[in-house]
Each structure stands twice: as C-alpha cells, then as structure tokens.
Amino acid sequence: MLFWERPDLLEQLLPNVDMEEVRKRRKIRLPELDLPRGVDLKQVIEPLPTAEDFPGPLEFDFSSDHVSLGKREDLTDEQYALLETAIRQFHPWRKGPWKFFDFEVDAEWRSNLKWDRIAPVLGDISRKRILDVGCGNAYYMFRAAAMNPELIIGLDPSIPFYLMFEMVQRFLQISNMQYERLGCEDLPVFDRCFDWALCMGILYHQRNPVQILRDLRNSLVVGGRAIVESQSIPGDGSMALFPENRYAKARNVYFVPTQDCLVNWVRRAGFKDVEVVSHCPVTTEEQRMTEFMTYHSLAEFLDPEDASKTAEGYPAPWRTVVVGTRKYLD
C-alpha cells in the first residue's frame, strides 16, 4: 500500500470548512495521480519500508536546518539503495535541505534561511492550527511540526511535491499533518479555520494577488495572523513590475511588487497591524544549482555582466516577508 490509513483531519475544522466542496475537488484531482509522472513516482515509493516495518518509532528531527528522519543503520543495504533511487527520481528538489536515513539532499533553495526569518514571528504555535498555502514539498510544514501545533494543513496541487510528503509520512506517520492537493484558488472552502497562515512564494505567480490575500484572510480566525513572503524588487514607492514575457526566465510571473506595494496589497486585503519582517536580495548562497536540482537557478537567471539585473534587464529579485492580522469578521 502506498498511503497509510489515517483520519481526515479537515473534519476537525467543521463546521467552518466546506467538506462537500473539498470532496468534489479532491475527486477531480485524483485521476492526475495516474498520469505518467505520478505513476513513476508511486512505483519507486511502493517498495520502501513503512513505519510498521521497523521495530520501533524512527528518530526524527525537524528543529534543525535539515528535516531529518531515521539513521543509516535502520535500513538494510537493499532498502537504502531503493531509498536513494526514490530520492533521485524526485529530481528536482526545490526546497530543503533534507536528511533521509543520513542521506543528505541539498535542495535548490536553502529554505532554512527563510525559515530563520519567519520562525521568530511565529513564536509559540503550540496548540495552534496552521495553514501552509503553496506548501511545495512540505519543508515548512515539517519545520512547523517541531513547534507542536495542534494541526498543520498544506495546500499544493503538485503531484511530485505531494508524493514527496507521502514518502516522508510513509516512514513517520505524523498524525497532526495533512497535505491537500488544492491550490490558493481553493481557499474559499475554509472560513475562520486557522490561527496562522503561511503564504510563501506564490503571490507573484497569481493574476489577482489581492484576491488571494483576501481569501487567505478569510481562512483565519479573528485574531489569526498570516506570514506573506514574496519575490519582490528593490525601490521606493508602491509599484509592481509586470514583465512583458518572462521574469528571471520564468514565464509564470505576473506582478513583482516593491516592499511598499506588498504592504499595501496586504492592507487592501483587510489585514491590520501589517509589518515588514524581512526585505533582502536573493543570493546564490540561498538559491543555486545542486546535485539534486541540476536545472538553471539564480546565477543563470541574472545578467552575466550585471547581477543587479535579471537576464531580461529587470531589477534582480529580492524577497520580502510581511505579517498581518485579521482583526474583524467582515
């Protein structure tokens, strides 16, 4: 069996989640797992051992830079070879780093650096309900799990990222985490459900970022807070770059805001007490090619003669983190 049996954690959010609509959307997306990429990844996961195959619970550590589980001695040589095959089949690894049974996976993004920027803002999230929109391979979900929240729900429609999460859960079966193959457009199914929402690196891919932020706000309880992290550009004033075709060689980029513009988006979406947590340029220390992500990365996205510009001549990317609070029901 590929997936381990567990209860549907969204039922803990009733009556504030539209479960009928969630089930409809799950049903629509389910056949996508039988597309070639999903089939290939499921085939390399299925031979791996499950939590029940080990004599006791595996050691894991989500509190350090690497999301780490298991030790090399927990696996036979044959199991370790199967694990390495599975890990390499998941190329490209975008967020990390990870450590599977002492096998280190150096992802394109050193996501621990971004986590270090937001963790102080989160503070004590024990017994809180957390949403991660655009959760990718769930790196931030596992980092949050180290802080003992009541519940963590991740949303991302990606088949590879979802199956990465299921591979980790195959070994650990952590009971307060759930990954839904839903996107930010599905946020309206959640109404006053979460204490914290993470929106990390998705706004600049959206045609209507303010509407996404409004839906994000509505998913929070009164007093709930959101951390909004976005690619941005340097500069004063409230403006956003709308690239003619590509930005840093990416086609799916629509609006790249300045810091002031991102703050205003968050405010216009209805958040209060909006503050900038971090605003800094992206560097090749944080985003780069690795053995586990061999496609072009930041260095190849920039003008080779002027690193302050993208390959298209636009301002090079920064990252901005903003936090805001839902104060009212309206």
Answer whether residue 5 is part of any domain.
no
The answer to whether residue 4 is domain-embedded is: no
According to the model, what pLDDT value does residue 4 have?
A: 65
The pLDDT tens digits for 114-161 are 999 999 999 999 999 999 999 999 999 999 999 999 999 999 999 999
**Whole-model pTM?**
0.96
pLDDT band, very low/low/confident/very high, at 22 (cuts 50, 70, 90) = very high
Residue 225 falls within a domain, yes or no? yes
pLDDT bucket at 276, cuts 50 / 70 / 90:
very high
CATH assignment of the domain containing 34 = 3.40.50.150
Tens-place pLDDT, residues 45-67: 999 999 999 999 999 999 999 99
Mean confidence (pLDDT) of the chain: 96
Is 330 part of any domain? no
Q: pLDDT, tens digit, for every residue of 90-101? A: 999 999 999 999
User: If you average pLDDT over residues 232-244, what whole number do you get?
Assistant: 96
Q: Name the residue range of residue 277's domain.
A: 16-325
Q: Is 63 a member of any domain?
A: yes
Residue 152 lies in a domain: yes
pLDDT at residue 5, as a whole number: 75
Q: How confident is the model at residue 3 (pLDDT cuts 50, 70, 90)?
A: low
Long-range (24+ apart) CB contacts under 8 A made by 114-121 are 114/200, 114/229, 114/286, 114/319, 114/321, 115/139, 115/140, 115/143, 117/277, 117/278, 117/321, 118/198, 118/227, 118/229, 118/277, 118/278, 118/321, 119/143, 121/227, 121/277, 121/321, 121/323
Helix residue spans in the chain (DSSP H): 19-29, 36-45, 77-89, 111-122, 139-145, 159-172, 209-218, 259-268, 298-301
Q: CA-CA distance, 201 to 193, in Å (whole number)?
A: 22
What per-residue confidence (pLDDT) applies to 149? 98
Question: Is 287 contained in some domain?
Answer: yes
pLDDT in tens, 26-39: 999 999 999 999 99
* Chain segment 185-220, per-residue pLDDT in tens: 999 999 999 999 999 999 999 999 999 999 999 999
How many domains does one find in the chain? 1
Distances (CA, A) of 231 to 201, 299, 312: 6, 16, 16
Nearest partner of 110 among 308, 309, 287, 235, judged by Cα: 287
Judge whether 9 lies within some domain. no
List the structure tokens of 234.
Answer: 């340097």
β-bridge partners, 325: 225, 272
**Per-residue confidence (pLDDT) for residue 175, from 0 to 100:** 93
Confidence at residue 2, expressed as pLDDT on a 0 to 100 scale: 61
How confident is the model at residue 329, as a pLDDT?
86
1: pLDDT strictly greater than 60:
no
